Amino acid sequence: MRLTVLIRPKAGILDPQGEAVQASLATLGFSVTRARVGRLVDLEIATDDAEAARVEVERMCAELLANPLIESFHVVVENA
Amino acid sequence: MSEARPRIAVVTFPGSNDDGDARLALELLGAEAPAVWHGETSLPSGTGGVVLPGGFSYGDYLRCGAIARVAPVMNAVRRFADDGGPVLGICNGFQILCEAGLLPGALRPNRQLEFVCDDVAVTVESTGTPFTSTCSPGAELVIPVKHGEGCWVADDDLFEQVVDHDQVVLRYIEDVNGARDRVAGVSNEDGNVLGLMPHPEHAVDPLLGPTGGVPLLEGLVAAARERVSIAAL
């Protein structure tokens, strides 16, 4: 079972990296009103139970993959 | 008779690079400072204090300090801290203590997106910790900083809690990295765990620059000495 975790800086958390990306895109002539930079983690888990896998990955996010003080996360099940 | 040298464990993670200076500074100030490898599951017997030094543990993978906080030695550090033992986290050590939940808040990339490397002035905001107990409230200390991710953040509720419990210990006089309310160092509620971005271990020898780190590390040495002597009774 493959799952992807999308981790983002929480709303309200300053993201200077995103601001730099936005400024660089503007330099290249692209019009972007906002850019936020997060992180993604691809995981493979030896199970066929999508729901169990999701629950497990959510626990991984809470314990390590994301810092709940500054980041939100979203788990995507890639194949059932 | 000279006073006994208390034992202060300095943890080395893969990627720590200020552990050597931390040990030298503590030894200069009267402690015995053994290096403790991150894979250890216990602290040396008779440990009276712990330092988590600066550096880039585990290459700052995932988030600064996130991987280090699951190192085997951290269970021993947590037990030591829960038992009231003095624990000092410097720079990366501060990030590790925040990730471990031993200190409030988190460290984010500097507001100005630049690595900052400079001698900075901080004020002592709380003297209720062993590290600052000999300082006068508002005392100014000059200590170097060198970090890319030192912007301490906390949401409104957490920040209010931190202020209410007198946990802001050090504050930059001028903004250094965008940290909320110019916070340079915070403690846990009990005051026995302190994290700070400035490097006191680089500020103990007048030959090399400012000496603002001396009172903080002397405070740690004194607290470690007291803890060891109480344990010996």
pLDDT, residue B233, reads 73
Q: Which residues of A touch B153 (CB under 8 A)?
A: 13-14, 69-70
pLDDT, residue B5, reads 94
| String of DSSP letters for A13-53 | S--HHHHHHHHHHHHTT---S-----EEEEEE-S-S-HHHH
Give the CA distances from residue B229 to residues B2, B35, B151, in Å, rounded to whole numbers and listed in that order: 14, 22, 38
Is A24 in the B-facing interface, judged by CB distances under 8 Å?
no
Chain A from 34 to 73: CB within 8 A of any B CB: 39, 64-65, 67, 69-70
Which positions of chain B have pLDDT values less than 50? 1
Chain A nearest C-alpha distance from B84 (Å): 25
CB distance B106–A70 less than 8 Å? yes
pLDDT, residue B21, reads 97
Give the CA distances from residue B68 to residues A54, B8, B14, B58, B146, in Å, rounded to whole numbers and listed in that order: 25, 19, 9, 7, 19
Residue A67 belongs to what domain range?
Answer: 2-77
Write out the catalytic residue numbers of B. 91, 199, 201
Burial of B211 (0-12, 13-18, 19+ CB in 10 A): middle
Which residues, 6+ apart, have CB-to-CB distance to B166 below 8 Å?
B126, B128
User: Which numeric CATH code is attached to B7-232?
Assistant: 3.40.50.880
What residue ranges do the domains of chain B occupy?
7-232
For B67, which residue in chain A has the nearest alpha carbon?
A: A64
pLDDT, residue B2, reads 54
Amino acid identity, residue B93? G
3-state secondary structure of B54: coil
Q: Which residues of A touch B111 (CB under 8 A)?
A: 14, 16
Alpha carbon distance B130, A48 (integer Å): 53
pLDDT, residue A67, reads 96
Q: What phi and psi values does residue B152 have, to the nearest 5 degrees?
A: -75, 130
For residue range B87-103, what is the model confidence (pLDDT) as tens digits?
999 999 999 999 999 99
What ipTM goes with this model?
A: 0.87
Is A16 in the B-facing interface, judged by CB distances under 8 Å?
yes
Q: Which residues of A touch B109 (CB under 8 A)?
A: 16-17
Interfacial residues of B (vs A; Cβ cutoff 8 Å): 62-63, 66, 70, 99, 105-106, 108-113, 151, 153-155, 158, 178
Number of domains making up chain A: 1
pLDDT of A80 above 60: no
CB distance B62–A16 less than 8 Å? no
- Orientation of helix B214-232 relative to helix B19-28, angle to 10°: 70
CB distance B113–A70 less than 8 Å? no
Alpha carbon distance B151, B79 (integer Å): 28
DSSP summary character for residue B16? B
Measured in whole angstroms, the distance separating CA B143 from the mean position of its chain's CA atoms is 13
For residue range A18-76, what is the model confidence (pLDDT) as tens digits?
999 999 999 999 999 999 999 999 999 999 999 999 999 999 999 999 999 999 999 99
E strand map for chain B: 7-12, 35-37, 47-52, 87-90, 106-108, 116-124, 140-147, 151-153, 168-172, 183-187, 193-196
Alpha carbon distance B59, B54 (integer Å): 12
Amino acid identity, residue B35? A
Q: Which residues of A touch B63 (CB under 8 A)?
A: 67
**Which domain CATH number covers A7?**
3.30.1280.10
Q: Which pair of tokens denotes residue A22?
A: 């936005």
Give the CA distances from residue B32 to residues B10, B115, B131, B164, B225, in Å, rounded to whole numbers and listed in that order: 10, 33, 17, 36, 10
CB distance A13–B66 less than 8 Å? no
pLDDT, residue B73, reads 98
pLDDT, residue B1, reads 43
For residue range B13-51, what is the model confidence (pLDDT) as tens digits?
999 999 999 999 999 999 999 999 999 999 999 999 999
